Amino acid sequence: MKESLRKSGIDIIGDVPWGTHICQFYQTKEDLIDTLVHYFKTGLNNNEFCLWILSEPLKVKDAKEFLRMAVPYIDSYLDKGQIQILPYSRFYAEEGVFDSERVLSSLVEKLNQALASGYDGLRLSGNALWLDKENWSDFVNYEIKLDSATGNYQMIALCTYFLDKFDATKIIEVAINHQIVLIKRDGKLEQIKNSKREKEEEKIRSLADIVESSNDAILTISLDGTITSWNKGAEQTYGYSAKEIIGKPISILEPPILIEETEELIELFKQGDKIHNYETLRLREDGRIINVSVTFSPIFDAFKKLVSISVISRDMTRSKRVEEKLRKSEERYRIATEQTGQVVYEYDLRTDKSSWAGAIEKVTGYSLEEFQRFGKKVWLKNIHLTDMSSGDEKFQSARKTGGRFKEELRLRKKDGSCIYIENNGVWLTGYDSQPCEAIGVLKDITERKKTENFLKSIETARKKEIHHRIKNNLQVISSLLDLQADKFNDTKVVEAFRESQNRVLSMALIHEELHEGMGSDVLNSSKYLERLVENIFQTYRSRNADIILNMDLEENIFFDMDTVVPLGLIVNELVSNSLKHAFVDRDNGQIQIELCKGESIGCKDNTAGSKQEEFHGTSFILIVSDNGVGIPGDFDLENPASLGMQLVNTLIDQLEGKLELKKGNGTEFTIKFRVM
């Protein structure tokens, strides 16, 4: 249908497009004739075929006379057949029966004849004064069909109704099925607002705007494949403007390898086949071939007859390229994972389903089909019993936070043997921000673990050998000090040598403990202090035979060399001092040694009130006390005169600790320090 405006001949509505459906309510014959004469005069002057259907009391002869007054050459129009004036009985009610389908078919037939004769279209008017109650419902349905039909054809229809014959209900039924509603009373013509029609037209305009603004190519083709409409999206997709392509066959868009494909699709569609998201190739105006997805939708006329096809084409070229790149990327990744001995997986928490790819058979011994059936329970059964709990704990802990996880596990292969694997992955969250899927990579690290264990054993042996040699060297030094002390008779000199010897032995004992251990860099300090103090007691046993030793040492306190060496020297000095000076002129006494943990401090509040990480480690308390004679009253803790106490202060500073002295029934030294 051509998109052009036609003069209506009715001043109040002006120009109208083809497909316009008008109704006029009138009170007098004069009101009716005045409108229709100008209506048909305009149609005759604009090369339109005119059809006037009359009802009583207006006769054909009367209608011609009224026209003749406005159109002097009306007879020439009648003679050449440009206008037909018929009574309703020859058009609406042939043989006394009203048949809406027959009437509509007659209108289409007359339109086709008019177009074949060179007229631009059909201008129609029919009067409903002849209607009786029995035909009213059928006639309303006819108006509905006519309203639909006029929109698809080069046709304008003006239906006229006598006001005094119809009540308000029937007037409303008529009005809502017309685009334009007129009423003429007392010689005055008015246009009535049709709210329902306006809403429908607004919807149609909105739909047209959507079609026009769509990025998809939306076009209409006739059943012979001629393009009859073309939106902006089609211009962007194919490169042709609407002016360039409307009226041309759709085969213009077919590449040479797909000639006549659209014709075949049209035939299949006419036979009832669905053409929905059909992927094919199309040729652009610039010669480029593009991937498109095509969908056909039917367009029917008022008689439910297929008259044309709406075609929606979506340019899939970019997505196809992305798909191809993704396919190649996945293929490269698959090859890479297989060649590097890795297994890639996805686990859906909601369905407990897993998907796997990569070197599955090489790593696990299972085929891809077997492994695809593995759920979480089956997977856990294949984890070494020792690793199952810790492995699942890390996996579930990461799930709660939606974070990454990395774990080393022993996996039982299909043949029953175990391998070490590294499970490295991340939890993904769904639309509700809750973790729902895990993706990760499994890598066989068995050879790496073997190498690590081998290197670890070498490192352990190396450390043990070093500690053994240091211990031996320190014992040699101790023996030399012992030999050297035997050359002197001065008690103070000999005592100084003994003290130095004990200090060296306290360090030698540390290296002996580390040598006897598993090559670790930390020492069980409680056990070490027990051995150290027992050795000191053996050294001074001859002069202090009845001194009781009480030790209350917390178990499993481990210190490294930086802590345990100064700690051992401090205990050596304090216990030696007690044994030498606290029990002079006494037959018995008691020495108490305690070691325990203090408070653990993690973080503290900063000035802004938020949590600031400031880790202070764990605090420890060492107490060395005796019930001896006590320390002299003039003893200065901060500036002691003896070398031993000076050494103690230096060692406590090295530990960044604090020394407290309690005097009374004996002496009590309390050392507080922290270990990071």
Q: Which residue did the predictor score with more confidence, 424 or 119?
A: 119
* Among the ranges given (161-165, 170-174, 472-476, 659-663), the one the predictor scored with the smallest mean pLDDT: 472-476
Neighbours of 207 (CB within 10 A): 10
Return all residues near 197 (Cβ < 8 A) that are at least 6 apart. 176, 178, 179
pLDDT at 334: 61
pLDDT at 606: 33
pLDDT at 15: 93
Residue 235 inside a domain? The answer is yes
Helix axes 491-516, 525-540, angle to 10 degrees: 150
Instruction: Please say if the pLDDT value at position 601 is more than 50.
Output: no
Where residue 368 falls among pLDDT bands split at 50, 70, 90?
Answer: confident
Instruction: Please say if the pLDDT value at position 144 is more than 90.
Output: no
pLDDT at 394: 67
Where residue 603 falls among pLDDT bands split at 50, 70, 90?
Answer: very low
Instruction: Please say if the pLDDT value at position 195 is more than 90.
Output: no
The DSSP code sequence of 140-197 is HHHHHHHHHHHTTSSEEEEEEEEGGGS-HHHHHHHHTT-SEEEEEETTEEEEEP-HHH
Instruction: Please say if the pLDDT value at position 540 is more than 80.
Output: no
Kindly state the average pLDDT of the residues 342-355: 77
**Closest Cα partner for 515 from 573, 473, 553, 566?**
473
Instruction: Please say if the pLDDT value at position 502 is more than 90.
Output: no
Instruction: Please say if the pLDDT value at position 621 is more than 80.
Output: yes
Residue 496 inside a domain? The answer is no
5-7 and 15-17 as β-strands: parallel, antiparallel, unpaired?
Answer: antiparallel
Q: Give the C-alpha distances (Å, rounded to integers) separating 181 from 13, 21, 26, 193, 533.
A: 10, 9, 11, 7, 117
Kindly state the average pLDDT of the residues 145-173: 79
Instruction: Please say if the pLDDT value at position 465 is more than 70.
Output: no
Residue 123 inside a domain? The answer is yes
Given 383, 413, 444, the domain boundary residue is: 444
Please state, for a pLDDT cut of 70, what percent of the chain lies above it. Answer: 78
Q: Are residues 14 and 149 in the same domain?
A: yes
pLDDT at 42: 94
Instruction: Please say if the pLDDT value at position 354 is more than 50.
Output: yes
Where residue 608 falls among pLDDT bands split at 50, 70, 90?
Answer: very low
How far from the centroid of its chain's Cα atoms is residue 281's Cα? 32
Given 315, 334, 367, the domain boundary residue is: 315
Greatest CA span in the chain, whole angstroms?
A: 165
Asked if 142 and 134 touch (Cβ cutoff 8 Å), the reply is no
Q: Are residues 173 and 73 in the same domain?
A: yes
Instruction: Please say if the pLDDT value at position 8 is more than 90.
Output: yes
Q: What distance in Å separates the CA atoms of residue 371 and residue 36, rounded to the nearest whole number?
A: 84
Structural domain count of the chain: 4
Where residue 457 falls among pLDDT bands split at 50, 70, 90?
Answer: low
Query: What mean pLDDT is reported for the chain?
Result: 79
pLDDT at 335: 64
pLDDT at 249: 92
Instruction: Please say if the pLDDT value at position 491 is more than 80.
Output: no
Kindly state the average pLDDT of the residues 325-339: 63
Asked if 22 and 13 touch (Cβ cutoff 8 Å), the reply is yes
Residue 470 inside a domain? The answer is no
Where residue 1 falls among pLDDT bands split at 50, 70, 90?
Answer: very low
pLDDT at 240: 94
Residue 643, domain CATH = 3.30.565.10
Residue 204 inside a domain? The answer is no
Instruction: Please say if the pLDDT value at position 447 is more than 70.
Output: yes
Q: Are residues 309 and 340 in the same domain?
A: no
Q: Are residues 537 and 575 in the same domain?
A: yes
Kindly report, residue by residue over 241-257, the tens digit of the pLDDT: 988 998 899 999 998 88
Q: Are residues 185 and 305 in the same domain?
A: no
Instruction: Please say if the pLDDT value at position 157 is more than 70.
Output: yes
pLDDT at 512: 66
Burial class (CB in 10 A: 0-12, 13-18, 19+), 342: buried
Q: Which residue did the predictor score with more confidence, 497 or 357?
A: 357
Given 258, 284, 315, the domain boundary residue is: 315
584-622: b (≥16 Cβ within 10 Å) or e: eeeeebbbbbebeeeeeeeeeeeeeeeeeeeeeeebbbb
Q: Is 298 left (phi over 0), alpha (psi -120 to 50) or beta?
A: beta
Asked if 127 and 87 touch (Cβ cutoff 8 Å), the reply is no
pLDDT at 340: 64
Instruction: Please say if the pLDDT value at position 282 is more than 70.
Output: yes
* Among the ranges given (7-16, 44-53, 385-394), the one the predictor scored with the smallest mean pLDDT: 385-394
Residue 545 inside a domain? The answer is yes
163: containing domain? 5-193
pTM, whole model, 2 decimals?
0.37
Kindly state the average pLDDT of the residues 397-418: 78
Q: Are residues 132 and 218 in the same domain?
A: no
Residue 399, domain CATH = 3.30.450.20
Where residue 268 falls among pLDDT bands split at 50, 70, 90?
Answer: very high
Where residue 43 falls among pLDDT bands split at 50, 70, 90?
Answer: very high
Q: Are residues 49 and 29 in the same domain?
A: yes
* Among the ranges given (181-190, 292-301, 320-329, 635-644), the one the predictor scored with the smallest mean pLDDT: 320-329
Kindly state the average pLDDT of the residues 550-567: 86
Q: What distance in Å separates the CA atoms of residue 358 and residue 331, rounded to the nearest whole number?
A: 10
Where residue 576 falls among pLDDT bands split at 50, 70, 90?
Answer: confident
Residue 516 inside a domain? The answer is no
Kindly report, residue by residue over 57-74, the tens digit of the pLDDT: 788 998 999 999 989 889
The DSSP code sequence of 270-297 is HTT----SEEEEEE-TTS-EEEEEEEEE
How far from the centroid of its chain's Cα atoms is residue 531's Cα? 63
Asked if 665 and 630 touch (Cβ cutoff 8 Å), the reply is yes
Q: Are residues 577 and 656 in the same domain?
A: yes
Please state, for a pLDDT cut of 90, what percent of the chain lies above it. Answer: 20
**Closest Cα partner for 441 from 354, 343, 353, 368?**
343
pLDDT at 626: 92
Residue 206 inside a domain? The answer is no
Tokens of 366: 């299972």
Residue 80, domain CATH = 3.40.50.300
pLDDT at 612: 35
Instruction: Please say if the pLDDT value at position 623 is more than 80.
Output: yes
Q: Are residues 361 and 434 in the same domain?
A: yes
Asked if 407 and 380 touch (Cβ cutoff 8 Å), the reply is no
Where residue 428 falls among pLDDT bands split at 50, 70, 90?
Answer: confident
pLDDT at 266: 92
457-469: b (≥16 Cβ within 10 Å) or e: eeeeeebbeebee
Asked if 576 and 648 touch (Cβ cutoff 8 Å), the reply is no
Q: Are residues 164 and 51 in the same domain?
A: yes
Q: What distance in Å separates the CA atoms of residue 450 and residue 446, rounded to the nearest whole number?
A: 6
Kindly state the average pLDDT of the residues 320-348: 68
Kindly state the average pLDDT of the residues 112-135: 88
**C-alpha distance across the termini of the chain, in Å:** 89
The DSSP code sequence of 604-622 is EE-TTSSEEEEEEEEEEEE
Q: Are residues 340 and 301 in the same domain?
A: no
Return all residues near 194 (Cβ < 8 A) that are at least 6 apart. 175, 176, 178, 179, 180, 181
Instruction: Please say if the pLDDT value at position 108 is more than 80.
Output: yes
Asked if 93 and 10 touch (Cβ cutoff 8 Å), the reply is no
Q: What distance in Å separates the CA atoms of residue 514 and residue 516, rounded to the nearest whole number?
A: 5
* Among the ranges given (214-228, 427-441, 469-483), the one the predictor scored with the smallest mean pLDDT: 469-483
Tokens of 210: 């959507």
Q: Are residues 328 and 309 in the same domain?
A: no
pLDDT at 392: 64
pLDDT at 582: 84
Q: What distance in Å separates the CA atoms of residue 265 and residue 297, rounded to the nearest whole number?
A: 12
Q: Which residue did the predictor score with more confidence, 634 or 608?
A: 634
Q: Give the C-alpha distances (Å, rounded to integers) separating 277 from 252, 564, 602.
A: 20, 78, 63
Q: Is the peptide bond before 57 cis (omega within 30 degrees of 0)?
A: yes
Return all residues near 206 (Cβ < 8 A) that are at least 6 apart. none
Kindly state the average pLDDT of the residues 138-162: 81
